[in-house]
Amino acid sequence: MRRLAASITGFGALFGAVALSSAAQAQTAGATLFAQNCSACHQLTGLGIHGAFPALAGDPFVVGDPTKPAYVLLHGRGGMPNFSEDLSDADIAAILSYVRSSWGNHAPPLDAALVASVRGGGAAPPKERSVLPGH
Amino acid sequence: MATESNGAAFSRRDFLQQLQGWGGTALMMAGMDALGFGIASAATAPPDLTGGGGGKKVIVLGTGVAGLTSAYELSSAGYDVTVLEARDRVGGRSYTARKGTKLTELGGEPQVCDFDEGYYINPGPWRIPYSHRGYLHYAKKFKVGLELFNNENEHAYIKFDKGTGPLAGRPVRKQEITADTRGYANEILAKQVRQGALDAEFAPGDKELFLDYLRSEGYLTKDDFKYIGTDGRGMDENPGAGLDPGKPSTPHKLTDILHSQTWRTLQSVGSLDMQHTMFEPIGGMDQLPAGFVRNLKPVIRLGHVVEKISQTPEQVTVAFTGPDGQKGTVTGDYCVCTIPLSVLRGIDLDVTPEFKEAITGVSYALVCKIGLQMKTRFWEDNHQIYGGHVYVDDPGVNVISLPSTGWLGEKGVVLGFYPQGAAAARVSAMSLAGRRDYALWVGQKVFPEYTESNDGSFSIAWHRVPFNMGGWAQWTEEGRAKYYPKLLEPQGRLYLAGEHLSYITGWQEGGIESAWSQISKLHKRAMATA
């Protein structure tokens, strides 16, 4: 089902923001955004792959203080990329709220304002991104 | 950085940034060399291993170019070398996908490359800069044929959707953007110089020469220094025979170019590792590993997955699971381990906690590629684009690269996407068919023939590939200072090598030169204790 949700979103929306208007839509958007951005490694099951990608189901880190996983999404960690330029505060809040309430996780949602506070100083300054890929 | 303790002090970073500001990257690199970063210390030949180490036994783990270089040089010098490789093939990331190549990513569907016989994509490294002398040394030594890789094509398109104005959202030839941007920039600068606004910048006699340069660089008119176009930006009608002089084209407006963002593809000169001359091996990137294997004395033991590395003061033991699932061990005097740190961090190692922490102190690049086999070479036949890159500003694609092999042939394999980082996470979350459809959807907006021509694909997400777990090591400045030096030193009898232990990360050259550096250290020690 979640894979279907990702595919019907279409390629046009893939690299754009998802508009949120209600809690239910936020949950759906969180599932879609998770499928698009996170599932390649953490898997749609949230179980990750042992020895390679950490499980999010039952992980005390993701259900604990929400500012900590928000920080990881904004800065990257280990093999995980930094999503700060690719996802809005609302996107990150939707993803983390979904992760915190799926696969047996039962932690309260968070809002974009909390992610913004972790990000600090409003939007990140645009990085001078080369359009010429290296390597 | 470790040396920064006093807030009032001028840090090394500040110093380097100042150098970059004053004199560009070249001066900064000279500064880095002076500060001990060693960036200019590129080796050009294998180390001298004279003496042969008294027949000491070395276990080499991994058969990417770092492992193959280590195994070849050590065995040639007289060491007794055992080589273990986890996969059923050699080469590591120096890899070519062709008809029948199988790959299953972690969490992914099984994939079999469905290209026609003779067609291929290099999903890992794909281009060899002229400055990579270690790679070229072995290509020459093992008679691996090279061909030119077209890394820059003025006639290729730029298609940027995120800009605004009439040049956004449609393919524009790069030559138009290059000629017009530089033409206008030189015209504006010439105007200021001629009005005397910049006289303070010039020594006596400089000004006229500088104006000559601006006129030449920007194709400005002889007397009034105007940019009115030039044939190099393309002609509306090319010149022909007889009475046909052709028809010149009209430059774009400067404001349209600026707002289209297409100028972001321009640089005064290619970066050190992106310049002409660029090569690729004829027949695929797996040809250099094949060259090593043809010339290697030890037999490589394929399908041997390392489980544990333990050691005593006298020897080192590697425990493995073999191809038929049976466990075994091999013991030697030294071990050269070229397993990527992204994988090594999951292996049971007999090293200090500090060394273990250092292994986890670097992240690995998320990166994807897809090869799309096309039934016709429409980019050549219909668009006169022979190799090189089409630049797009969709981060899920970045470039569409046209092949530098099989010119004017029947079919060809196009690189359909090359995303990195968060964009690569997104692309890799798609099904194999979804990745292909996404690549086609983007390419179709550049080439109308794209989708209907496609008849095969092979995609890879390196962060999901077993025994790689990432494209290449991405050291931060902090990691370089805190962890990198630890990993360069042996742990007991264990030496690490690979692109991750170089300042040429993500290039085969880094693996080769790292191997040279580490086996040289090993040899000195072996000779001292022989």
CB contacts, 8 Å: A133 with chain B: 398-399, 418, 420
Residue that the structure tokens 């044939």 belong to: B231
CB contacts, 8 Å: B395 with chain A: 15, 86
| Contact assignment for B395 to A15 by CB distance below 8 Å | yes
DSSP code string of B65-105: HHHHHHHHHHHHHT-EEEEE-SSSSS-TTS--EETT-EEE-
Predicted-assembly ipTM surpassing the 0.90 threshold: no
What pLDDT, on a 0 to 100 scale, did the predictor assign at position A51?
A: 86
What letter would DSSP give residue B237? B
CB contacts, 8 Å: B394 with chain A: 15
CA distance A65 to A60: 9
Residue of A nearest to B432 (CA): A40
Name the maximum alpha-carbon separation found in chain A. Answer: 43
**Residue A72: Cβ-neighbour burial (10 angstroms; 0-12, 13-18, 19+):** middle
A49 and B CB contact within 8 Å? yes
What letter would DSSP give residue B247? B
* B53-87+302-361+475-529 CATH choice from 3.40.50.720, 3.50.50.60, 3.40.50.170, 3.30.10.20: 3.50.50.60
| Contact assignment for B364 to A79 by CB distance below 8 Å | yes
CB contacts, 8 Å: A76 with chain B: 363
CB contacts, 8 Å: B418 with chain A: 133
List the one residue out of B417, B472, B369 whose CA is nearest residue B93: B472
List the one residue out of B334, B263, B386, B346 whose CA is nearest residue B492: B334
Strands (E), chain A: none
Q: Taking a C-beta distance cutoff of 8 angstroms, is the pair B495, B66 a contact? A: no
Contacts of B224 (CB under 8 A, 6+ apart): none
Displacement of CA A104 from its chain's centroid (Å): 18
Which residues in chain A come in under a pLDDT of 70?
A: 1-10, 12-23, 121-130
In a mutational test of the A interface, the residue from B426, B436, B503 whose CB has the highest number of chain A CBs within 10 Å is B426
Fold of B97-155+275-286+366-464: Polyamine Oxidase; Chain A, domain 2 (3.90.660)
What pLDDT, on a 0 to 100 scale, did the predictor assign at position B529?
A: 83
CB contacts, 8 Å: B274 with chain A: 132, 134
CB contacts, 8 Å: B151 with chain A: none
The structure's pTM equals 0.90
Element (H, E) at B318: strand B316-321
| Contact assignment for A132 to B267 by CB distance below 8 Å | yes
What pLDDT, on a 0 to 100 scale, did the predictor assign at position A121?
A: 66
- Give the CA angle between residues A79, B42, B74 to the nearest 5°: 85
| Contact assignment for A132 to B342 by CB distance below 8 Å | no
Residue B355 φ/ψ, nearest 5 degrees: -65, -40
The one-letter amino acid at B448: P
CA distance B117 to B222: 55
Q: What spatial distance separates the first Cα and last Cα of chain B, rounded to whole Å? A: 39
DSSP code string of B303-332: T-EEEEEEE-SS-EEEEEE-TTS-EEEEEE
The one-letter amino acid at A134: G
Contacts of B398 (CB under 8 A, 6+ apart): A131, A133, B391, B392, B417, B418, B419, B420, B423
Residue of B nearest to A76 (CA): B363
- For chain A, positions 17-36, list CB contacts with chain B under 8 A: 35-36
| Closest chain A C-alpha to B413 CA, distance in angstroms | 19
Where in chain B is CATH 3.90.660.10?
Answer: 97-155+275-286+366-464
Q: What spatial distance separates the first Cα and last Cα of chain A, rounded to whole Å? A: 37
DSSP code string of B20-41: HHHHHHHHHHHHHHHTT--TT-
Q: Taking a C-beta distance cutoff of 8 angstroms, is the pair B56, B333 a contact? A: yes
Q: Taking a C-beta distance cutoff of 8 angstroms, is the pair B502, B514 a contact? A: yes
What CATH class has B163-260? mainly alpha
Residue that the structure tokens 């695929």 belong to: B284
Q: Taking a C-beta distance cutoff of 8 angstroms, is the pair B416, B440 a contact? A: yes
What pLDDT, on a 0 to 100 scale, did the predictor assign at position B14?
A: 54
Displacement of CA B116 from its chain's centroid (Å): 26
List the one residue out of B143, B142, B168 whose CA is nearest residue B72: B142
Which residues in chain B come in under a pLDDT of 70?
A: 1-42, 530
Q: In terms of DSSP bridges, do strands B146-148 and B278-281 run parallel, antiparallel, or are they unpaired?
A: antiparallel
- For chain B, positions 377-436, list CB contacts with chain A under 8 A: 391, 393-396, 398-399, 418, 420-426, 428-431, 434
Residue of A nearest to B509 (CA): A135
List the one residue out of B322, B325, B363 whose CA is nearest residue B342: B363
- The beta-carbon neighbor of B423 closest among A7, A77, A86 is A86
CA distance B65 to B62: 9
A4 and B CB contact within 8 Å? no
Helical axes B508-529 vs B65-77, angle rounded to 10°: 30
Element (H, E) at B400: strand B399-402
| Contact assignment for A37 to B429 by CB distance below 8 Å | yes
DSSP three-state, residue B474: strand
- The beta-carbon neighbor of A79 closest among B363, B395, B437 is B363
**Residue A101: Cβ-neighbour burial (10 angstroms; 0-12, 13-18, 19+):** middle
| Contact assignment for B395 to A7 by CB distance below 8 Å | no
DSSP three-state, residue B224: coil
Residue of A nearest to B471 (CA): A135
- The beta-carbon neighbor of B506 closest among A53, A76, A135 is A135
Residue of A nearest to B342 (CA): A79
Q: Taking a C-beta distance cutoff of 8 angstroms, is the pair B496, B519 a contact? A: no
What pLDDT, on a 0 to 100 scale, did the predictor assign at position B23?
A: 44
In a mutational test of the A interface, the residue from B174, B369, B394, B430 whose CB has the highest number of chain A CBs within 10 Å is B430
CB contacts, 8 Å: A79 with chain B: 342, 363-364, 366, 463, 469-470
**Residue B217: Cβ-neighbour burial (10 angstroms; 0-12, 13-18, 19+):** middle
- The beta-carbon neighbor of B363 closest among A41, A53, A76 is A76
Fold of A2-10+18-119: Cytochrome Bc1 Complex; Chain D, domain 2 (1.10.760)
